[in-house]
Chains A and B, each alone.
Chain A
Amino acid sequence: MTQAPLLDVQKLRKSYPIGRRGLFSRRTLNVLHDVSFSVAPGEVLGLVGESGSGKSTIGRAILRLIESESAAMRFKGQDLNTIPSGRLRDLRKDMQIIFQDPYASLDPRKTIRAVLSEALDAHGLHRGPARGPRLTELVNLVGLDPSFLDRRPHEFSGGQRQRIGIARALAVEPSFIVCDEAVSALDVSIQAQVLNLLADLRAMTGVSLLFISHDLSVVRFISDRVMVLYLGRVMEVGPADQVHFAPKHPYTAALVSAEPSLHRENRRIRLTGEIPSPLSLPSGCIFRNRCPYALPACADTVPQLQTVGDQHQAACLRHDIL
């Protein structure tokens, strides 16, 4: 990448205290271990992983909706860790989020006009007579009718609510949006509409997306690059098609093979055992207790991400066997 990244995250960590052991020592649960990545302007980075992989935590940590630790977290060159709170509010105009649950993400008591106006008011955008046309433009942008503006969320279907959530995120013209399972709760036919909408918006506005999802096919379709997480660690990161069709990490391979498909003969890679508890992770590679290719050496060292192809990295001692 020659361009300076829009977002650059180095060694992101997040831990939660879970009770005390003695008076001063606290037990902590680490949900993210040194996650590093960057997003280029206009790029869509897909984030996949199973529950407990920490993918939603990453999205919220970047937006500073939860506190986290990191060596560096730069957005447009500004360090998000040290930014004063006044500047952070300005920065929120540039970074937005779309939520999974279209029912919980809209205040049931507010009309769509109030929902979208809140976004504009927060940053003093399009005041006075400019407000009306801007709201109409926003609802048109997401394929809704302007007559919907004065209705409340309960009058809409899940797909329409998701479009309203997208319009809210777009209202402040952000350059970066976290899509946290943004299409997962939608029915297949509606999901395709919303995916197309996101692809169109990206082509039109050049917005960058961090697209978080557990659905690998959806992530492959929408993303330029894909990052695979397992228990808070990056297993593999690379161009979407390569990660999907030629994975270099056994976990990615297992995930792809487990995905039910109409068109592929399923040759599933069987994983033994259960996902280990985050409180007692195996030594060395955290995937080794379920990995069909694990060697004794996997217990000794934590594999680091190493380059396995063009822009393609995997954290596996045995990446060459796949």
Chain B
Amino acid sequence: MMSMPRIPTRMIVPSLLLAALIVIPFAAPLITAEDPIKMAVRYRLAAPDLAHWLGRDEFGRDRLARVLYGGQVSLTVAFVATSIACIVGTFFGLIGAYFRGPSEFITTRLSDIVLCFPPILLALLVVTLFGPGAGTLVAVLSVLYFPTFARIAFSEALRVTSLDFVEASRALGTPSRRIVLGTILPNIAGPLSVQYSLTAAAAITIESGLSFLGLGVVPPAPSWGQMIRGARQFMNQDPLGILIPCAALVLTIYAINFFCDRLRDTLDPKGGAGSGMDDVSAPLALANAPAIDDPDVVAMITDLRLETSRYGTPVAVIEEVSLTLRANQCTALVGESGSGKSLSSLALMGLLPGAIRQASGTLQLRRKSGDVVDLGFLDARTLEDIRGNDIAMIFQEPMTSLNPIHTISGQMIEAILAHRPMSKTEARSHAIALLKRVGMNDAERRIDSYPDQMSGGMRQRVMIAMAFACEPRLLIADEPTTALDVTIQAEIIELLQSLRQDQASGLSLLFVSHNLGIVADIADRVAVMYSGQIVEEGLADLILRDPHHPYTRALIESMPSSHEALHSTGGDRLPAISGTPPLPSARPSGCAFRDRCPIAIASCAEIRPQLYPSPDGERSVRCLRAPEAPGGLQMSRTEAA
């Protein structure tokens, strides 16, 4: 975000350049004692000398003085006109967007009318009517440019007005004037200030153009357009005369545009870093991958560590994550936001965001052919072949993962043809068969509809059908039901269950979720993540019925559905854990949970707990006080509560 008092480093050079170009013309009396309109025909077109650094023009006037004083006129006209356009346009835009109704009509129609005229024609018309001169120029340019400001202010204000914080201000009874000026205006200032710089640059050009045509500033007053006009006739004898005003013009416009570009980057909350596309970081190949002998193992994550960089130093976002995914098994990855559960699953797809780097560990996958590959050793082509074919993924929000401008059939056929050589008609009938399999009635007809013609539940069914298009061995479902209503959620979970049992090749499902209730429904094994680590892992029944890690226990205890006898009216409180999960850069020493842990002891700050396996190997837990830990002192559930 923008922090107002500090000027970002990248703004320093463009700001200084722009400031210099504006200040220098207005400091003209300090720079030269010459009068810009005093003629000396005797010295016409004289070459530069010590007293007249840039020589003299066709009437013997000092060029330095003319270019400086001309700059005063050009810049004043441009900035005054732009400021008027900006203030008037913003006013109309804000009023239109906040009050809607008739004021919206006036704002949009008024700017439409002005936008209908070709700008130069409109300018010519007004100048012809009112006669040339700086005042007319300012008026023309303001009228020309106010619609752009009105449009931008209108659409931006419309966006901001719909945000909750504006609604909150209205609910508080804050007067409209204060909401518009104090809340909406600051939030649309970014795009407006960029538009201001762009318009100022354009205004300088138009001013010069009109002056060049003799319709702008009246001679003998200097302006850059006037200078070009005058020097044009003597271009062959005296090229300097035309080069000087042109250079001034180019330099000024360049400085303004340079300033705009940097300003836009600075005002953009994303900081303008990178190319917009997420670079996918190449996974790191490590030689010491463990051999997978068990044919049931579909994928294995070993000792994964993912890092991001903060002020140049690497910060681990995920540490020591190991997970074995087997055929015919559903493994749930559970955790709160920021726990690293989604990153772990994206690493398996080779889709880590550019800022995240795999620092160590291996990601192995058994392909359909039976070969075990290390995802870190693969080139981009092979990875693309694996995605969709061996591993498929469904996401939380089916609306954003489906392309709204293509029909379902188009998107499904494309997905099928990407991995399977067949004709389009075959692909279409395959797609229809898939939609029927995911429980879509009337699939033959509905396959030709667009995503927005379907309900959220149906869209998620389409995503599931697409994921199953190539019978993957591993399906990653990242919060697939979080955006859905409970009744629809239950249907989708049931669908995933039945598809899992149908698939002959033995599907392994990695189910990423924050909802322990759903996990209890679908998962065979559970891995609970906290602050980038797996803190407890094992059979779902064992973990959820009798959690050994205090965090797992706290998670279950915090759910209101765990306390059907409690009611707030009776003065009951939910057993909540205090505090919030630590940021990756501020994890405490020792156990990451100890700050919030009800049973933490002194050694929790000193020893980093390992994942201690139980004697039967069915579960493991990362807690010094768990019974699995060497010498662990387990407190009973009641004591902890």
Contact = CB atoms under 8 A, between A and B. Distances in A.
Contacts of B558: 188-189, 191-192
B165 A105 contact: yes
B472 to A, nearest CB: 25
B458 interface: yes
Given A109-B187, A122-B175, A258-B490, A195 B520 contact: no
Contacts of B187: 107-109
Given A119-B172, A188-B555, A51 B485 contact: yes
Nearest to B3: A152
B151 to A, nearest CB: 23
A271 interface: yes
A210 interface: no
A140 interface: no
A263 B562 contact: yes
Interface string B168-190: 11111111001000110011000
A119 to B, nearest CB: 5
Interface string B428-461: 0000000000000000000000000001111000
A262 B517 contact: yes
Interface in B361-378: none
Nearest to A198: B568
A157 interface: yes
A123 B196 CA distance: 36
B515 A196 contact: no
A261 interface: yes
A222 interface: yes
A112 interface: no
Interface residues of A, number: 77
B577 interface: yes
Interface string A41-64: 000100000110000000010010
Interface in A266-281: 266, 268, 271, 274-275
Contacts of A275: 455
A65 B174 CA distance: 13
A107 B487 contact: no
Given A192-B574, A196-B573, A96 B171 contact: yes
A1 interface: no
Nearest to B493: A260
A321 interface: no
B221 interface: no
Nearest to A263: B562
B166 to A, nearest CB: 8
A105 B164 contact: yes
Contacts of B400: none
Contacts of A261: 517, 520, 561
Nearest to B173: A92
A247 interface: no
B337 interface: yes
B485 A266 contact: no
A310 interface: no
Interface in A246-268: 254-255, 258-263, 266, 268
A21 to B, nearest CB: 20
Interface stretch (A12-20, A127-135, A212-220): A212-220
- List of 6 A-B pairs having minimum Cβ-Cβ separation, nearest first: A260-B517, A92-B173, A192-B576, A192-B558, A217-B561, A187-B336
Given A96-B171, A262-B520, 10 more contacts: A97-B167, A100-B164, A105-B164, A105-B168, A160-B580, A193-B578, A199-B568, A221-B566, A260-B489, A262-B559
22 contacts: A63-B171, A105-B168, A107-B183, A107-B186, A122-B174, A152-B1, A187-B337, A188-B514, A191-B558, A192-B575, A217-B559, A217-B561, A222-B568, A255-B486, A258-B487, A259-B561, A260-B486, A261-B517, A262-B559, A263-B562, A263-B564, A275-B455
